[in-house]
Each structure stands twice: as structure tokens, then as C-alpha cells.
């Protein structure tokens, strides 16, 4: 394994350690599901990011680079979706954006269930009602349990979703120009493609390793990922603000530690560049 890759494994391990410490400090804070929706969204994002950070260094150790890029893709989405929420002007608008994002996944499932239901009522159905009925009942239960995720349209309760349906449309102009191309590059590893073929099924006679094939792009993507991990943590701490007064000094030390660890690595070059 190259010295550069060993350094990336080390820094992701260190960042994961810092995120665990931060999580323990925040864990004692109580939240209201209704009034602290944005805080809870950020807290869940940070916890997912912590798990993904650990998974990234474990996958790097095993040289499973395509799987690493799939996780990086998730971190990109977590950071910029949280950014989209925080760009709303009022607290109420921020809460509504969080509700829309949380409702979107269920909205997508419900749309597919409606397609299945429509098919089951056709003359030559593929689906039978008993094959999706339990999922339909589960969604109805969720609507009752999480009414803030539901909107009434023509007398029917449906899950909310953002008007900006796609991840791309939730980016502002600067985000779109600076980061979307990096995000899209990770898409080459979600489905079979010539690039992923050359990485996981090295062509006969090739003298390159998977890392050598990816090297020009992988390091850059990992650098951006590190800053986005810091960004998720930093945004959450800004949102919590007065809620962490008694722990602010300790939390700020952790944040500073994360930032300096990134700044003093290869990723620090981005400070004077794209970021």
C-alpha cells in the first residue's frame, strides 16, 4: 500500500475518533421532535457521517475503492441537503424543508406502490394485492405517526417532497459549479461501467493496480470528502449554538482538531483552491 493511501487511512481514523468524542458530548442534550427538527436532522446526518467515516477507512485498508466512493457519494448528499435546509430564511421554513426531505423517501416508495396497485387491478396483473399490502399498511401507519411529513392533496394524505426533486436542483449556483462534477464522478461506481470494470476486473495483461487506475481522481475526491465531513459537524454546532453553552469550549476544541488535521494533510491544498 502506498504511503499516500496510508496517510488517508490514518486521517479518516482520526476524524472518526473526533466525531465519536463530539457525539458523546452532544448525546446529553434533549430535543423536541416538533421544534428541534433541524437540529435532529443535523444530528442524524452527523451520526451517519460518523459511521460512513469509519467504513471508509476500513474499506481503504482492504483496497475496496469503488465501495469507498459510494460512501463518499452519501456524504456529499448529507452535507448539501443539510445546507439546503439551512439556506431557508426562517426557522419555520427550515423545519418544512427538513420535513420535505424526510418525507421524500416515503413519497418515492408510495409512488411505486401505487404503480403496483394499479397493475394488480389490470386484466393481466404481475402483482397481487397481498404482495404489497403490508407495505401499504406500513406507510399508512407512518402517516399517522409522523403527520408533519404528510400533506393533504385533493383529500388524500401524501408524503411531502421538495419542489427541487433532484439533488442537483437543491444546489445553489456556486455549489453546482464547484462540487457537482466531483459528485457525478462517483456515479461511475454505482453501476457497471468501463471504469469500474477496469478496477474490479483488471483486463488481461494490465500492469496497473486498481489504485493506479483510480489514483488521479480518488485522492481529490477523498480530500473534498474530508472537508464536507468537517462541514456537517460545523453546521450542526452552529445550529445547536446556545444549547451547548456548557460544552462549547470542548466541542470547539474537537472542531478545531478536525480542521487542523485536515488542513495539515494533502486536503489542505484545497483551502487555497476550490474550497
Cα 139 to the center of its chain, rounded Å: 23
Q: Give the model's pLDDT for residue 132.
A: 85
- DSSP secondary structure string, 210-265? HHHHHHHHHHHHHHHHHHHHHHHHHHHHHHHGGGGGGGHHHHHHHHHHHHHHHHTS
What is the mean pLDDT of the segment spanning 111-119? 90
pLDDT at 192 over 80: no
- Which range has the worst mean pLDDT, 31-40, 42-51, 192-201, 223-232? 192-201
Q: What are 84-101's pLDDT values in tens digits?
A: 999 999 999 999 999 999
SS3 of 137, please? helix
CB proximity list for 47: less than 8 A, separation 6 or greater: 23
Degrees to nearest 5, angle at CA 171 with 53 and 157: 90
Contact 153, 107 (CB under 8 A): no
pLDDT tier, 1 (very low <50, low <70, confident <90, very high otherwise) = confident
Q: How many other C-beta atoms can be found within 10 angstroms of the C-beta atom of residue 29?
A: 13
Bigger pLDDT: 63 vs 21: 21
Residue-range domain boundaries for the chain: 3-87+174-272, 97-159
Helix axes 91-120, 37-61, angle to 10 degrees: 70
What percent of the chain clears pLDDT 90, i.e. is strictly above it? Answer: 59
Bigger pLDDT: 109 vs 129: 109
Residue 66 φ then ψ, to 5°: -60, -40
Q: Give the model's pLDDT for residue 230.
A: 95
Cα 55 to the center of its chain, rounded Å: 14
- The residues pairing with 150 across neighbouring beta strands, listed in sequence order, are 159
Q: Which CB contacts under 8 angstroms, 24+ apart, belong to 91-97?
A: 91/38, 94/37, 94/38, 95/37, 95/38, 97/162
Entry pTM: 0.88
Amino acid at each position: 500500500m502506498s504511503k499516500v493511501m496510508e496517510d488517508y487511512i490514518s486521517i479518516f481514523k482520526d476524524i472518526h475518533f473526533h466525531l465519536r468524542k463530539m457525539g458523546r458530548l452532544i448525546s446529553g442534550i434533549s430535543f423536541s421532535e416538533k421544534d428541534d427538527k433541524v437540529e435532529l436532522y443535523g444530528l442524524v446526518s452527523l451520526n451517519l457521517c460518523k459511521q460512513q467515516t469509519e467504513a471508509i477507512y476500513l474499506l481503504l485498508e482492504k483496497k475496496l475503492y469503488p465501495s469507498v466512493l459510494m460512501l463518499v457519494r452519501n456524504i456529499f448528499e448529507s452535507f448539501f441537503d443539510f445546507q439546503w435546509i439551512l439556506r431557508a430564511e426562517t426557522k419555520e421554513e427550515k423545519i418544512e424543508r427538513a420535513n420535505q426531505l424526510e418525507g421524500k423517501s416515503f413519497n418515492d416508495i408510495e409512488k411505486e406502490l401505487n404503480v403496483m396497485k394499479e397493475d394488480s387491478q389490470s386484466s393481466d396483473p404481475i402483482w397481487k394485492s397481498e404482495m404489497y399490502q403490508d407495505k401499504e399498511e406500513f406507510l399508512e401507519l407512518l402517516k399517522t405517526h409522523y403527520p408533519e411529513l404528510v400533506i393533504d392533496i385533493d383529500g388524500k394524505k401524501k408524503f411531502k417532497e421538495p419542489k427541487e426533486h433532484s439533488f442537483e436542483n437543491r444546489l445553489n449556483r456556486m455549489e453546482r459549479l464547484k462540487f457537482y462534477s466531483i459528485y457525478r464522478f462517483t456515479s461511475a461506481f454505482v453501476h457497471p461501467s468501463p471504469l469500474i470494470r477496469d478496477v474490479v476486473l483488471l483486463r488481461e495483461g494490465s500492469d496497473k493496480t486498481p489504485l493506479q487506475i483510480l489514483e488521479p481522481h480518488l485522492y481529490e475526491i477523498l480530500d473534498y470528502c474530508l472537508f464536507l465531513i468537517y462541514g456537517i459537524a460545523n453546521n450542526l454546532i452552529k445550529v445547536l449554538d446556545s444549547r451547548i453553552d456548557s460544552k462549547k469550549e470542548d466541542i470547539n476544541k474537537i472542531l478545531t482538531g478536525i480542521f487542523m488535521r485536515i488542513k495539515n494533510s494533502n486536503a489542505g491544498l484545497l483551502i487555497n483552491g476550490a474550497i
